[in-house]
């Protein structure tokens, strides 16, 4: 055996663990080799994996054992919505999925991203600067976030859990992920849906997603709609500009009370460079959902607001 053949044989041996049966994931009729874990929590793990076509994907594996019906419903809901949103460039793409009762697992194969916005914010927060992010980056990211959320609103879907961790950079473009608690509007009422419980991430939750409407027979019932997502977007913009969310310094109960309390003023420190961004977040963080601007339309955040259209400032 020549030296070259020896090196090839050695290299092949080094790759054997990659194709070992314990390292293989099967989803429907496709086989993937696990390259590593990129995220985990509770009964869920997300793997970086290699397909037979040598493309690298993300595979979410959810163990069903011990999971309650509501949690299973959430994952089934996510698969359903991702199927509905296939082909939308602003939404993470799902390539395949399987509910395997024999293995007691759910598998979702998706496109792989590089890093989420939350990671970017955390890294920038380590810098001792007055602002955690460059304003041009904030402006571009804000534009992409608005576009992504507008896309799902056009499909009559309320996300309900918008936060930096649910915006993923994929080949430089920002995409929306995690539709586990998103809700599709089933009837002609395109403004409001009802939730039977408080779901979301508190730092980004709107007042109406916390307040009980009093219309539930067996418990709390919250009325939310597109403006609830707009509030969450405002909280993310606030964090991008100031390096923290509007109610970050408060403890849990204080935070709950402050979010819904119209007498609790949200502090917006002056920043001349961020003046337009601050104006946008002020509009998003109106406690009355009817006073919040739409993403697209008259006074729309995406199509008219002067943070993205500075030439229009003089006409306001």
CATH number at residue 128: 1.10.510.10
Q: Is residue 291 part of a domain?
A: yes
pLDDT band at 46 (very low <50, low <70, confident <90, very high): very high
What integer pLDDT is reported at residue 68 of this predicted model? 79
Q: Is residue 19 part of a domain?
A: no
49 and 84 co-located in one domain = yes
Of 191, 190, 229, the residue nearest 209 (C-alpha): 229
Q: What's the average model confidence in pLDDT over 108-124?
A: 92
Q: Is residue 4 part of a domain?
A: no
Q: Is residue 193 part of a domain?
A: yes
Q: Is residue 22 part of a domain?
A: no
Query: What are the start-end ranges of the E strands in 2-159?
Result: 24-27, 30-41, 44-51, 56-63, 94-100, 105-111, 115-116, 157-158
The active-site residue out of 22, 100, 161, 178 is 161
Q: What's the average model confidence in pLDDT over 12-28?
A: 73
What integer pLDDT is reported at residue 198 of this predicted model? 43
The percent of the chain in helix, strand and coil, each rounded to the nearest 5, is: 40, 20, 40
305 and 249 co-located in one domain = yes
Q: Is residue 240 part of a domain?
A: yes
Of the given ranges (33-42, 143-152, 217-226, 237-246), which has the lowest mean pLDDT? 217-226
107 and 119 co-located in one domain = no
Of the given ranges (74-78, 94-98, 256-260), which has the lowest mean pLDDT? 74-78
101 and 124 co-located in one domain = no
More confident residue, 182 or 84: 84
With 0.95 as the threshold, say if the pTM is over it: no
Of the given ranges (28-37, 67-76, 148-157, 255-264), which has the lowest mean pLDDT? 67-76
What integer pLDDT is reported at residue 291 of this predicted model? 96
For the chain, give the percent of residues with pLDDT over 90.
Answer: 59
Give me the helix-helix angle, 226-242 and 275-284, nearest 10°.
150
What integer pLDDT is reported at residue 5 of this predicted model? 60
Q: What's the average model confidence in pLDDT over 115-127?
A: 85
What integer pLDDT is reported at residue 16 of this predicted model? 59
Q: For the chain, report the end-to-end CA distance as a whole number of angstroms.
A: 79
Q: What's the average model confidence in pLDDT over 164-183?
A: 88
> CA 281, CA 255: separation in Å to the nearest integer?
18
Instruction: Tell me whether residue 29 is one of the annotated catalytic residues.
Output: no
Mean pLDDT estimate for the chain: 85
171 and 32 co-located in one domain = no
Per the structure, the complete domain to which residue 294 belongs is given by 115-315
> What's the total number of domains in the chain?
2
> CA 316, CA 223: separation in Å to the nearest integer?
32
More confident residue, 222 or 290: 290
Residue 25 sits at φ, ψ, to 5 deg, of: -115, 135
Q: What's the average model confidence in pLDDT over 214-226?
A: 65
What integer pLDDT is reported at residue 51 of this predicted model? 92
Cβ proximity of 83 and 94 under 8 Å: yes
Domain of 43: which CATH number?
Answer: 3.30.200.20
> CA 31, CA 292: separation in Å to the nearest integer?
47
Cβ proximity of 95 and 49 under 8 Å: no
Cβ proximity of 147 and 64 under 8 Å: no
Range with top average pLDDT, 56-70, 77-91, 292-306: 292-306
Range with top average pLDDT, 9-13, 219-223, 297-301: 297-301
Examine the pLDDT at 197 and tell me if it is beyond 60: no
59 and 106 co-located in one domain = yes
Burial grade of 82 (CB within 10 A; 0-12, 13-18, 19 or more): buried
Q: Is residue 307 part of a domain?
A: yes
């Amino acid at each position: 055996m020549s030296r070259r053949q020896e090196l090839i044989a050695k290299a092949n041996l080094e790759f054997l663990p990659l194709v070992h049966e314990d390292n293989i994931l099967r989803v429907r009729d496709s086989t993937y080799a696990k390259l590593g874990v990129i995220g985990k929590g509770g009964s869920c793990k997300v793997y970086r994996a290699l397909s037979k076509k040598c493309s690298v994907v993300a595979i979410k594996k959810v163990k069903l054992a011990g999971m309650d019906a509501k949690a299973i419903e959430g994952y089934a809901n996510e698969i359903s919505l991702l199927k509905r949103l296939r082909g939308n460039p602003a939404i993470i793409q799902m390539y395949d999925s399987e509910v395997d009762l024999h293995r007691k697992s759910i598998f979702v194969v998706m496109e792989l991203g590089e890093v989420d916005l939350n990671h970017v914010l955390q890294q920038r927060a380590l810098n001792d600067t007055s602002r955690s992010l460059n304003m041009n980056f904030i402006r571009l990211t804000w534009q992409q976030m608005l576009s992504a959320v507008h896309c799902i609103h056009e499909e009559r879907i309320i996300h309900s859990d918008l936060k930096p961790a649910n915006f993923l950079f994929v080949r430089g473009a920002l995409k929306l992920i995690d539709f586990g608690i998103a809700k599709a509007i089933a009837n002609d009422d395109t403004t409001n849906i009802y939730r039977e419980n408080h779901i979301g991430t508190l730092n980004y939750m709107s007042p109406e997603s916390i307040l009980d409407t009093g219309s539930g027979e067996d418990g709390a019932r919250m009325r939310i709609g597109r403006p609830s997502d707009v509030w969450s977007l405002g909280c993310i913009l606030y964090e991008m500009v100031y390096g923290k969310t509007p109610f970050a310094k408060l403890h849990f109960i204080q935070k709950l009370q402050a979010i819904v309390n119209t007498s609790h003023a949200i502090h917006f420190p002056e920043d001349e460079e961020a003046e337009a961004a601050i104006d946008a977040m002020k509009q998003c963080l109106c406690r009355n959902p009817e006073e919040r601007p739409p993403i697209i339309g008259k006074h729309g955040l995406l199509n008219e607001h002067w943070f993205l259209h500075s030439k229009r400032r003089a006409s306001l």
